[in-house]
Amino acid sequence: MPIYEYRCKNCSSHFEKRQSVSDEPLRVCEKCSGELEKQWSLSGFAFKGEGWYVTDYSKRNGGASEKTSTGESTATADAASKSTSDPTPKSD
C-alpha cells in the first residue's frame, strides 16, 4: 500500500498515512479538526547509471550477445579470437 502525505491548513501539521489506492483521501486533521490538504511527494527510488537495456535482462544463453569492456559484442569478440588463435591448416 502506498504512503500519502497530508498537511493541515489550520495548524500546519504534516504527517504520512498508509492507505489503499482506492481509499478516499483524508479530510479532517486528527490534531485540530482543520481541513487537510494532500501533498505531492517524491518517489522513494531513483534511476542511476548509464541506462537499462533489454539485453540486460535477457537469458545468457538465449542468443542475445553481450557487450565486452571494449564495446564489442561477445559474438564478434569470440569470432575474432578464434580466427587469431586457430590458424587455418595449410594444404600440402
DSSP 9-57: TTT--EEEEE--TTSPPP-B-TTT--BEEEEP---S----SS---GGGG
| Residue 41: per-residue pLDDT | 75
Mention every residue, 6+ apart, whose C-beta is less than 8 A from residue 15.
5, 6
Domain that holds residue 70: 54-84
Question: For 16-45, what is each residue's pLDDT tens digit?
Answer: 999 998 999 999 999 999 999 999 877 666
Number of domains in the chain: 2
Q: Where are the alpha helices (DSSP H) in the chain?
A: 74-85
Is pLDDT above 60 for 52? yes
For residue 45, tell me if it sits in a domain: no
> In this structure, is residue 48 part of a structural domain?
no
Instruction: Let me know if residue 46 belongs to a domain.
Output: no
Q: Are 61 and 35 members of one domain?
A: no
Give the pLDDT of residue 33. 94
Domain assignment of residue 80, yes or no: yes
pLDDT exceeds cutoff 60 at 86: no
Q: Are β-strands 36-39 and 14-18 bridged in parallel, bridged antiparallel, or unpaired?
A: unpaired
**Whether residue 62 is found in the same domain as residue 35:** no
Its pTM stands at: 0.46
Q: Is the pLDDT of residue 72 over 60?
A: no
